[in-house]
Amino acid sequence: MIGINVYLALIAIATLLSMYRVFRGPTTVDRLVAVDIMTTITTGLMVLFALYYKRMIFLDVALVYAILAFGGVIAFARYLEGGL
pLDDT, one tens digit for every residue, the chain (84 residues): 567 888 888 999 999 999 999 999 899 889 999 999 999 999 999 998 898 899 999 999 999 999 999 999 999 989 988 876
pLDDT of residue 52: 87
Reported pTM: 0.83
Which domains are seen in the chain, by residue range? 1-81 (1.10.287)
| Cα–Cα dist 71/42, whole Å | 16
For the chain, the average pLDDT equals 90
Contact present, 30 and 81 (Cβ < 8 Å): no
DSSP-assigned letter for residue 82: T
What is the predicted pLDDT for the residue at 1? Answer: 58
**Spatial contact of 34 and 22, defined as CB atoms under 8 Å apart:** yes
Other residues' Cβ atoms within 10 Å of the Cβ of residue 42 = 16
Find the Cα–Cα–Cα–Cα dihedral 15, 57, 67, 5, rounded to 10°: 20
pLDDT (0 to 100) of residue 7: 85
